[in-house]
């Protein structure tokens, strides 16, 4: 098992956001975390990566990581793509990608050529400042920069938010390619169609707890869960 989270709680001040979350991600698996806005999905990501103080058990590749700093967790092999596109606008696209390397000049499963083959737009603009890219291109760049660090698990928060349909399709292709190369994915996603298409398993969150766990087929057949916890 790559990631094993048990009875995870998290607080913002006195607000009890995560209320006993259990989830797991196996090697090379795409697992989606679904739910309406405000139920704690992003907080779960931030707690796993160490940006929010955890209460509970978080194991990564058999090692307890709850309480470690975010940089320590990253060096153990967890990548994180936040929902806000955090590029360095004054640096070029290629320089942004280089910042993703754990050690300068040392590449792993992902090379510059791989990224540029998947996203020709980034290849064409690799010498341009990242600040001139469109929002969708900046999202692609953020994801690809994380991959350059060669993580074994990547946590991706709302990658398709605000993207045009063509770019949404490209994100789906990239996620498939990530999993094929042996990297596990914990995906927070609002678009149910994407999650059902690419995930092996899904979790649905409601009010800080997991209210459903199952396969895409099981969720598609469960109209009650979709109506109560997902549909607007």
What pTM was computed for the model? 0.92
Q: What does the pLDDT read at residue 110? A: 86
> Structural domain boundaries of the chain?
3-92+149-229
- What's the rounded mean pLDDT across residues 123-144? 92
Q: What does the pLDDT read at residue 136? A: 84
- What's the rounded mean pLDDT across residues 189-195? 87
- Percent share of the chain, pLDDT over 90: 72
Exposed, middle or buried: residue 227 (CB in 10 Å: 0-12, 13-18, 19+)? exposed
Q: Is the pLDDT of residue 141 over 90?
A: yes
Q: Is the pLDDT of residue 226 over 90?
A: yes
Contact 141, 129 (CB under 8 A): no
Say which CATH superfamily domain 3-92+149-229 falls into: P-loop containing nucleotide triphosphate hydrolases (3.40.50.300)
β-pairing, 153-157 with 15-25?
unpaired
């Amino acid at each position: 098992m790559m990631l094993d989270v048990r009875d995870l709680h998290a607080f913002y001040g006195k607000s009890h956001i995560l209320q006993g979350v259990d989830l797991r991600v196996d090697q090379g698996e795409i697992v989606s975390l679904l739910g309406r806005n405000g139920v704690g999905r992003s907080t779960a990501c931030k707690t796993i990566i160490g940006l929010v103080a955890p209460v509970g058990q978080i194991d990564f590749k058999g090692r307890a990581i709850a309480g470690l700093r975010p940089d320590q967790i990253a060096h153990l092999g967890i990548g994180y793509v936040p929902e806000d596109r955090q590029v360095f606008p004054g640096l070029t696209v290629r320089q942004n990608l280089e910042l993703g390397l754990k050690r300068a000049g040392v590449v792993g499963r992902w090379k510059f050529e791989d990224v540029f083959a998947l996203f020709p737009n980034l290849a064409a603009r690799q010498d341009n400042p990242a600040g001139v890219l469109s929002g969708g291109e900046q999202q692609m760049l953020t994801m690809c920069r994380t991959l350059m660090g060669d993580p074994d698990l990547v946590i991706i928060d709302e990658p398709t938010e605000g993207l045009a349909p063509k770019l949404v399709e490209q994100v789906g292709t990239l996620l498939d390619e990530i999993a094929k190369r042996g990297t596990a994915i914990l995906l927070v996603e609002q678009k149910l169609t994407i999650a059902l298409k690419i995930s092996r398993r899904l979790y649905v969150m409601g009010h800080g707890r997991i209210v459903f766990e199952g396969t895409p087929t099981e969720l598609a057949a469960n109209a009650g869960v979709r109506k109560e916890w997902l549909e607007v």
